[in-house]
Amino acid sequence: MTTAGSSGRDEPVETEDIASGESNIKLTETADKGKNGQRTPVKDVAETNGLSTTATTTGNKKKDELGQLYKPGVHVWCKYTGDNSYRDSQIIEVNTLKNGQTNYYVHFVEFNRRMDTWVKSTDILDSSTNPHDPEAKLTSGHGDAVAMLKQKRERRKEGVVEFVEEEYGEHNAMDEASIREHEEVTKVKNVNTLELGRHLIDTWYFSPIPKELYPEGGVPILYMCEFSLDFFRTKRELTRHYKNCKVRHPPGDEIYRDEESNLAVFEVDGAKSKFYSQNLCYLAKFFLDHKTLHFDVDPFLFYVFCEFDEYGYHIFGFFSKEKFSEQGYNLACILTLPSYQRKGYGKFIIEFSYELSKKEKRVGSPEKPLSDLGQVSYRSFWARALLEALQTPAALQQDKLSLIDLACITSIKIEDIILTLNYLGIIKYVGGQHCIYATPEIVTEKLKQFSGRGPRVSTR
């Protein structure tokens, strides 16, 4: 698994393959929703998101107020919430509310599926302004992954050899049929917003939570206890739960604590805390797309990262890993919640996974594929870790430093080391072997690009 965590609209980290399963989850009704922490009436929420318990899905019923009903699959120009410009979009689904208003679930062709959203018909330009063929083919929503797979195979048949850095995209482990099946099943989010503790977070993707939590095809908002990770359909049920809930931290053992930064890490055994572990995976799936849900969480350990204060321990991310990995993976799934992103927590979680590998005296690597955000986070961490290793006194005193030496110092797998040094432009292949070409000055200058902000793991 790898790597999906500001407000709910921040762009995230992620990352990841997931361990998960079914669970008995408590239920409730829909309530108020907030945008970036601001509350709005329930009625506005349902209308804004196109989700309603009285809504009916339609493909060709009565026309809307513009005199035009766009059908699923049609390309239109739609207002993009990021900058209010009109973008090439594809109609995914149509909902007609009880009041007769028609809302559309759209995918913005140039963007990742996490930006898919419900819009009103007033946000769509009239079809006469649409330059696209109404019968245009559907796009995958991920930069046309199917087309990319076909192109790669054609180039292989032609004998074309490319020396490029390997990319672990979200589709690499999937064939064309799997991609299409996945996108059909998960094409529309079943929950628009998640309330978790003090944060209202816009979800990015469909999560296979139990159907009874969204019996009418989708809910505008779902509530979650940040301590026990119970799900609820109404604010009233969540409030009642909090009155009786005595839990203020994740289950398992607290294995790390930093009083200066108020951070703590808990190790949770999936076999001992199944309900919590399963719900952790459901939570992650709202922010990770092409990741596998393992219904048996017993083989996994979950490392839950929290900020703590006088009210308790507030989860901001986690990673999981197999207790015994034949491939030597030190991480299966990684997620930083969107409401906690841009704080450097993603690299903190990654660094922690490698510190565990150092204690185990092993090299490790994350499971592939990584999400787009996971790739960015890992590349940044690997670059920083390797450049810091090249600056150590032991490294500076050696005439030659092998890749094995770097692997021993950092616990990073040699394949990942080569990719990262190649990305940094400080490795060459000469005489049948890889050689690092970088003066101390070059290393220092490049390290400035990856110093970044955020906490570091204390090994004291």
Predicted confidence at residue 176, as pLDDT, reads: 67
pLDDT class of 136 with cuts at 50, 70, 90:
very low
Which residues form the catalytic set?
Answer: 367
- CA dist., res. 446 & res. 386, Å (int): 11
- Domains with residue ranges and CATH for the chain: 74-125 (2.30.30.140), 189-369 (3.40.630.30), 376-459 (1.10.10.10)
DSSP annotation of 290 reads S
What DSSP designation does 211 have?
A: G
Count other C-beta atoms under 10 Å from residue 230's C-beta: 20
Q: Is the pLDDT of residue 355 over 60?
A: yes
Spatial CA neighbour of 370 closest among 355, 340, 343, 350: 350
**What integer is the mean pLDDT of 390-413?**
84
Distance CA 216, CA 54 (A): 8
pLDDT in tens, 173-224: 556 665 666 566 677 888 999 999 999 999 999 999 998 898 877 788 999 9
Kindly report, residue by residue over 82-96, the tens digit of the pLDDT: 788 899 989 888 887
| The pLDDT of residue 433 | 81
Residue 323: what pLDDT?
Answer: 96
Better-scored residue on pLDDT, 28 or 209: 209
H-type helices in 286-371, by residue range?
345-359
pTM score of the predicted model: 0.72
Is the pLDDT at 134 greater than 50, yes or no? no
Percent of the chain past pLDDT 90, that is, above it, reads 44
pLDDT at 24: 38
Say what the pLDDT of residue 127 is: 56
> Distance (Å, rounded) from C-alpha 351 to C-alpha 42?
42
Q: Is the pLDDT score of 257 beyond 80?
A: yes
What is the Cα–Cα distance from 220 to 206, expressed in whole angstroms?
A: 13
